[in-house]
Chains A and B, each alone.
Chain A
């Protein structure tokens, strides 16, 4: 091989590009596409948070912060986790402010994985879990989640999936792409399995604020597994702050100090201006968050009813901002459905297969889009499905 690719390590070279890529290329060719594809809030960051960021710039807070993050922000995170979820972390040595929650996932995995180590990844789920396991030299092991079980982890299936090679398990609720959330009692059953096994637990709770109709229970509230639980969360979804790249990772001090080394060498610190904005977000923005959650909830019900009225089977999601309808009744694969819908009616939804093989037969549509867009998208989907039925 004479290309510079020869330097790329095998595990990266053999990684396929994301299956979503081709849809993005298609969007660029088409005009007037309504996207229910992007997994981020359509809301702009609440003004008081933006204003705090502007003020931080005016004040000249343009330097690095402490590696672990501004102390005041770490204290606010500790207070917030206690206030919201009764989860307790020491801001001095159990919290690292990260460049988005995704850095937290990567930090935990890169701190633990050695060749041959397996990580149990429930799927369908966020595309980065498997990606991060692979880039860190581990082996992802899929734990398929079933619609019959409302896309929740079955304790028995989890127990069977754990082998002596399993180093960690990822708990991804509220879930992207299904919108599934596990209740407190259901998590207790999972914890009972995990208590018996010697492995690290990474709980990605980035959508914790976005639940509808019930109280979210954080995995960080189970004392029996606290010393080997890594809690990942951030500001992107709750406070509509995706572009600020601000998240945090929490855990037992004896574990966090090692993740800290990777963070300080790879990233130094999260963006300082974003951290100042984050303080305002946690301190003063509960009302803005609950307004956004209320709006998401209305759109959730509207979109869910809409796709059900189109004759698609769809379980009721209780978290995040996605619905995950079952499209097998159309006779199309996920990919055929999404490509057809995009080409013929210019509506983008994402094939379930982008989130793992077990996503075949489903598509992900987000309701992080205006009510007008959702209404128009439903009308276009109806035309698409009617036409397909006629053929």
Chain B
């Protein structure tokens, strides 16, 4: 059944019929497995990978290093929740090393992101410091190249 997840991870548009053909499971088995994965939270959602640079949407991404003071009993989790619940936060990871959280924030422009950091993020109790790095260009996201591709350049050969 893990194979079904691997197929969907590569192409969330794969239909039940296609997955059935690819795996050899019955159509009912595939449908049931997907329903169960969705129900138990293994599959958290389906989405398209979009290169927004191709559009006229103004858009910046920033990676913010956040240092925190951990709270008694709750560790970092409660503080992380206070941060990741903002819709501007696209990803949030607890890190080993010299800082605690990596927060990926998206906004319409530098100013919007800067405002978020100064007015929302750094004022949260327990946030010791932040360091904001703006993304200049995305080459690859979610294991998908955002531009260019390696074309099929196989030539006709007798074999």
Contact A294 B6 (CB under 8 A): yes
Return chain B residues, CB-CB under 8 Å to A198.
Answer: none
With both beta carbons as reference points, the residue of chain B lying nearest to A23 in the complex is identified as B156
Question: Are A299 and B159 within 8 A (Cβ)?
Answer: no
Q: Are A44 and B150 in contact (CB under 8 A)?
A: yes
Cα of A306 to Cα of B22 in the assembled complex, Å: 10
Contact (Cβ within 8 A) A126 B23: no
In the assembly, what is the distance between CA of A299 and CA of B14, in Å? 13
Within 31-51 of A, Cβ neighbours of B (below 8 Å) are at: 35, 37-40, 42, 44
A127 at the interface (CB under 8 A from B): yes
The reply to whether A40 and B154 contact each other, CB–CB distance below 8 Å, is yes
Most A CB contacts (10 A, CB to CB) among B6, B7, B18, B156 go to B156
- Please state if A302 and B156 are interface contacts (CB–CB under 8 Å): no
Count class of interface residues, chain B: 10 to 19
Interface mask (B1-37 → A, CB under 8 Å = 1, otherwise 0): 0010011000100000010011110000000000000
Answer yes or no: A298 CB below 8 A from chain B CBs.
Answer: yes
Q: For residue B123, give the distance in angstroms from its CB to the closest CB of chain A.
A: 43
Interface bracket on A: 20 to 34
B15 to chain A, nearest CB (A): 10
Contact B24 A301 (CB under 8 A): yes
Q: Tell me whether A38 and B154 are in contact in the complex, defined as CB-CB below 8 angstroms, given that A294-B6, A298-B7 are known contacts.
A: yes
Q: Does A165 contact B (CB under 8 A)?
A: no
A24 within 8 A of B: yes
Q: Which residues of A contact B56 (CB under 8 A)?
A: none
| Nearest-Cβ distance from residue B90 to partner chain A, whole angstroms | 27
Chain A residues with Cβ below 8 Å from B156 are 24, 27, 37-38
- Residues in B whose Cβ lies below 8 Å from that of A42: 152, 154
CB <8 Å contact, B22 and A299: yes
Given A42-B152, A44-B150, A298-B7, verify A20-B24 contact (CB < 8 Å).
Answer: no
Smallest Cβ distance from A43 to chain B, in angstroms? 9
A37 to B157, CA, bound (A): 9
A128 interfacial by beta-carbon distance below 8 Å: yes
* A18 contacts B by Cβ under 8 Å: yes
By a CB distance below 8 angstroms, the chain B residues around A40 are 154, 157, 159
Residue of chain B at shortest CB distance from A102: B159
A9 sits at the interface (CB 8 A)? no
A146 sits at the interface (CB 8 A): no
- B49 contacts which chain A residues (CB < 8 A)? none
Q: List 25 A-B contacts (CB under 8 A).
A: A35-B154, A37-B156, A38-B154, A38-B157, A39-B157, A39-B159, A40-B157, A42-B154, A44-B150, A128-B159, A176-B159, A298-B3, A298-B7, A298-B22, A299-B22, A301-B22, A301-B23, A301-B24, A302-B18, A302-B21, A302-B22, A306-B21, A370-B152, A371-B11, A371-B22
Query: Which residues of A line the B interface, CB within 8 A?
Result: 18, 20-21, 24, 27, 35, 37-40, 42, 44, 126-128, 176, 294, 298-299, 301-302, 305-306, 370-371, 375
Please report B residues at the A interface, Cβ cutoff 8 Å. Answer: 3, 6-7, 11, 18, 21-24, 150, 152, 154, 156-159
> Which 7 A/B pairs are nearest by Cβ-Cβ distance?
A24-B156, A298-B22, A305-B21, A18-B158, A302-B21, A39-B159, A302-B22
Could you list 4 further interchain pairs (A-B, Cβ under 8 angstroms) beyond the known A39-B159, A40-B157, A375-B18? A20-B158, A37-B156, A40-B159, A302-B22
